[in-house]
Structure 1
Amino acid sequence: MEVYTSDSSDTDSREQKTLDYGRMNLTVITLDDDLHAKKALKTHKDFETLLLNHNKLTLLPPALTKFINLKVLDLSSNCLTQLPEAICNLPLVTLIAKNNNLTNKSLPKSFVMRNAALKELNLSGNQLTHFPEQVLELRQLRYFYAGANKITSISKDIWKMQRWGREEFVCI
């Protein structure tokens, strides 16, 4: 399997810290084996962006928790039915999980990330039926997307987000 890391290009450092497994039609990914197979000079801790978008993943690999400096995780357009609690141990700033099969019950009980840094959360195009209350815990959140779900009710406490200075917050 060909894994793209942008080390070979003359691009900025952000791209050099990106591991791109997007659009590879993967059903399973281990991350550990793939990094070793490529004899990568980098380890999990060297990456800040992990792109797993547009695959057929149903589960996230356990090795995901080894990406201790991960800021951006794109899980969009897969077949995920669960976001594990362990995802909250990552220092994510952006979590994109749009266009999967996530329900309210399959979300972590709390979205409070390590260092409480999450600023963007995209859950559009899933199977949510009501506003995820856990989002109210995210004081740094600036962008929340939940369009193209089956949401029929929004939390009465959504006003708290405006109090935290979120003028352009909810996109449902």
Structure 2
Amino acid sequence: MATNYVLVSSSASCDSSSDDETLNPKKIDFSYQGLVSEVLEVNLVEMSESTERDQIEKILLYNNSLDSMANALTIFRNISVLDLSNNLISELPENLNTMVNLTQLFLRNNLLDDLSFPKTMASMIRLRDLNLSGNRLTTIPSAVLGVVSLRNLFLGGNRLAEIPRGIKNLKRLRVFYLGGNQIRALPSEICQLSNLHALILCDNQLESLPECICCLKRLECLQLHQNRLTTLPEGLIRLKSLSELSLRDNPLVVRFIREMTYQPSSLLELTARVIITNRIEYQPDDLPHTLHNYLHSSHQCVNPRCRGVYFNTRVEHVKFVDFCGKYKIPLLQYLCSPLCKADDPAVAQGAQNLEDETSIMRRVLLG
């Protein structure tokens, strides 16, 4: 017996106050139904005969047990959104290419590999969003590289070892998600994606970046954490659009922190600190000439609550900020001593004030 289907309008999920649902796009919601492919096929055929199938614009089939994409889906010629995520699909049909009105196709967390795709998807000229994360891809299929209309491409959590040179075809890409793969190097062709706003490369095996990546003038987000980077292209610092840079868990950061040391203060510096912090009054003739000149070389501790100063030696501290995926290394901070704790909120505020006042310190790249 075929499982009952559910036909709802998009307004049902938007709390719309409109009484005329015929003005709203319709969607079929088959999600979380435990459907297998044979049962789905029967349901779709029955539905196409009993409804205005050309009014259907969204079909949701995520979280089922589908092992293939039903051929009957192509009956609904005007659907723009198709979600087949979290199923067991291992192959896509050749007639996928006939779904020319699709703008969003979600195939996340299935069993797709390099041979699972049709020969071409070039007719899908309206497709903007394609999510293939959580599958078994070792490369980007040529069919996908032929969808030149793509704006957002998600390929995270696959087995990608390399990026094909054909990636240059996707010149309209704005978001390119490649986190959680096995990529060791990027082809120079990726630098031709001039519309990229976000490039996610975290949790890979990258040891370097191509110099031309600095040509991506619209790049706002570059996530590189959990790789093997030891250097970065110097031109990154000149990317005015770049506002999010993630670098944690790379050798260039780990090595920098490991090499930071606390140097003991000299007797001269200890004396000068006592004079300044205790505001001891003196006349030039009261002090040795060396000490008198040395007092004028003091620097204020970054902690605004601290009256301490430092001279030749200081405690170096790199402040790391990691918030909802944003990660940057804004400043190398100088504290007067290890007792002036770097995790004090006042230290963070003092550094922020300095960063706000000096635009060149908004972003410091190590390497």
Give the TM-score normalised by structure 2: 0.42
* Offset of residue 148 of structure 1: 0.5
Q: Does 1:154 align with 2:167?
A: no
CA distance in structure 2 between the partners assigned to 1:25 and 1:107 by the alignment: 24
The share of aligned pairs that are identical, in percent, is 31
2:177 matched residue in structure 1: 171
Q: Does the C-alpha gap of structure 1 residues 6 and 69 become closer, same or farther in structure 2, counting only changes over 3 Å? A: same
Residue 92 of structure 1 contacts residue 113 of structure 1 at CA under 8 Å; is this kept in 2? no
CA distance in structure 2 between the partners assigned to 1:58 and 1:165 by the alignment: 32
Aligned residues: 164
* Offset of residue 109 of structure 1: 1.6
1:79 matched residue in structure 2: 88
Residue 5 of structure 1 contacts residue 16 of structure 1 at CA under 8 Å; is this kept in 2? no
1:150 aligns to what SS in structure 2? coil
Residue 55 of structure 1 contacts residue 78 of structure 1 at CA under 8 Å; is this kept in 2? yes
Q: 1:67 aligns with which of 72, 76, 79?
A: 76
Q: 1:125 aligns with which of 121, 134, 145?
A: 134
- The amino acid of 2:153's aligned partner reads F
Residue 53 of structure 1 contacts residue 76 of structure 1 at CA under 8 Å; is this kept in 2? yes
2:115 aligns to what SS in structure 1? helix
1:73-130 CA distances to partner (integer Å, 9 max, x unpaired)?
A: 101000001111111101211110110000110111212234x111011111011011
1:43-62 CA distances to partner (integer Å, 9 max, x unpaired)?
A: 32220101111000012222
Which structure has the larger Rg over C-alpha atoms?
2
Structure 1 runs (4+) greater than 3 angstroms displaced: 7-16
* Offset of residue 140 of structure 1: 1.4
CA distance in structure 2 between the partners assigned to 1:120 and 1:151 by the alignment: 19
Q: Does 1:26 align with 2:35?
A: yes
Which structure is higher in RCO with an 8 Å CA cutoff and minimum separation 6? 1
2:109 matched residue in structure 1: 99
Residue 148 of structure 2 contacts residue 172 of structure 2 at CA under 8 Å; is this kept in 1? no
For structure 1, which segment, 9-18 or 148-157, has the greater mean C-alpha deviation from structure 2 after superposition?
9-18
CA distance in structure 2 between the partners assigned to 1:61 and 1:5 by the alignment: 18
Q: Which runs of 5+ in 2 are unaligned?
A: 179-367
* Offset of residue 16 of structure 1: 4.6
Q: Does the C-alpha gap of structure 1 residues 165 and 52 become closer, same or farther in structure 2, counting only changes over 3 Å? A: closer
1:110 aligns to what SS in structure 2? coil
CA distance in structure 2 between the partners assigned to 1:25 and 1:16 by the alignment: 25
CA distance in structure 2 between the partners assigned to 1:165 and 1:140 by the alignment: 6
Residue 6 of structure 1 contacts residue 16 of structure 1 at CA under 8 Å; is this kept in 2? no
Q: Which runs of 5+ in 1 are unaligned?
A: none
Residue 131 of structure 1 contacts residue 155 of structure 1 at CA under 8 Å; is this kept in 2? yes
Alignment of 1:38-49 (within 5 A): 40=50, 42-49=51-58
CA-atom RMSD, angstroms?
2.3
Residue 108 of structure 2 contacts residue 133 of structure 2 at CA under 8 Å; is this kept in 1? yes
2:54 aligns to what SS in structure 1? helix
CA distance in structure 2 between the partners assigned to 1:160 and 1:106 by the alignment: 21
1:55 matched residue in structure 2: 64
CA distance in structure 2 between the partners assigned to 1:109 and 1:86 by the alignment: 10
